[in-house]
């Protein structure tokens, strides 16, 4: 296979190239993966696939800080203090 011919992949080859299942790849094709029709066959240019994938690259979600033990206990202490106050007022059992 020449270097020029290696630029164009079939759908199963393109799916392997992008490390997704063929079914997932076809779902993406329906949503707009750039394709090249060559006669009756459809091929996918490696450069187009790289560009398409780069546009969909997501930044990692920011990590929320892990609450400290005291921070996780605070709502419980607040609820218990409120319950104690209600009991003292005779409004709770």
Tell me the mean pLDDT in the region 78-87: 82
Q: Which of these ranges, 20-24, 59-63, 78-82, has the smallest mean pLDDT?
A: 59-63
Burial of 14 (0-12, 13-18, 19+ CB in 10 A): buried
Q: How confident is the model at residue 23 (pLDDT cuts 50, 70, 90)?
A: very high
What are 41-79's pLDDT values in tens digits?
A: 999 999 999 999 988 887 677 777 776 766 666 677 777
Q: Give 21's contacts (C-beta < 8 A, 6+ positions apart).
A: 15
Q: What band does 88 get if pLDDT is binned at 50, 70 and 90?
A: confident
Residue 36 clears pLDDT 80, i.e. is over it = yes
Tell me, what's the pLDDT at 9? 94
pTM exceeds 0.85: no
């Amino acid at each position: 296979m020449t270097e020029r011919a290696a630029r164009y992949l079939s759908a199963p080859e393109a799916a392997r190239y992008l490390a997704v299942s063929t079914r997932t790849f076809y779902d993406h094709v329906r949503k707009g993966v750039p394709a090249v029709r060559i006669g009756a066959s459809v091929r996918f240019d490696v450069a187009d696939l790289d560009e398409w994938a780069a546009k969909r690259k997501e930044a990692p979600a920011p990590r929320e800080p892990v609450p400290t033990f005291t921070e996780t206990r605070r709502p419980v202490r607040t609820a218990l203090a409120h319950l104690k106050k209600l009991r003292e007022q005779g409004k709770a059992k």
